Amino acid sequence: MKAYTKYLTICSNKKVEIINITEKVKEAVEASQIKEGLCLVNSMHITSSVFINDEEEGLKKDFINWLEELAPYNFHRWLHNKTGEDNAHAHLKRTIMGREVVIAITKGELDLGPWEEIFYGEFDGLRNKRVLIKIIGE
């Protein structure tokens, strides 16, 4: 069994932003030289997500607007913000979008469906955050 570990550093340009990281994950799979296995991609932070969906600008805006309805910024509503933070909403938004994805590797490639793209979802950005790619297999 082989294992491969890669850390990406991402600094978003906006406080809330959805960033396509599919190519970076493909590069890691190639570098790993693993042909059959599993690829974990996760945010190492608790106010951002890794998820799979569609590369379409309108949908990315829909996600951001929808998350703001389900888990609004609303500073005074959340107890967590009494600690001096203002990012309680980001912890909740990330929970809906998910921390991680696990993707099959088949014949040396990410075994993705035709429209599957991998995204980093940032909900408290404008600073360096890390994403972990861990691949195991043979």
Count interface residues toward a second copy (CB under 8 A): 58
Cβ-based neighbours of 21, under 8 Å, separated by 6 or more: 8, 10, 41, 50, 118, 119, 120, 131
Q: Tokens 């599919």 label which residue?
A: 22
C-beta neighbour count of 16 within 10 angstroms: 20
Radius of gyration of the CA atoms of the chain, in A: 16
In the complex with a second copy, the residue whose CB is nearer, 7 or 126, is 7
In the complex with a second copy, the residue whose CB is nearer, 30 or 111, is 111
Q: Which of residues 61-80 bind a second copy (CB under 8 A)?
A: 61-63, 66, 70-71, 78-80
Q: Tokens 């294992």 label which residue?
A: 3
Distance in Å, CB of 38 to a second copy, minimum: 6
Q: Which of residues 83-112 bind a second copy (CB under 8 A)?
A: 83, 88, 91-92, 95-104, 106, 111-112
Distance in Å, CB of 39 to a second copy, minimum: 10
Cβ-based neighbours of 132, under 8 Å, separated by 6 or more: 5, 6, 7, 8, 40, 41, 42, 44
CB 50 within 8 A of CB 10: no
Q: Which stretch binds a second copy (CB under 8 A): 11-19, 22-30, 56-64?
A: 56-64
Distance in Å, CB of 134 to a second copy, minimum: 4
Distance (Å, whole) CA 22 – CA 134 = 14
Q: Which residues bind a second copy (CB under 8 A)?
A: 1, 3, 5, 36-38, 40, 42-46, 51-54, 56-59, 61-63, 66, 70-71, 78-83, 88, 91-92, 95-104, 106, 111-116, 130, 132, 134, 136-138
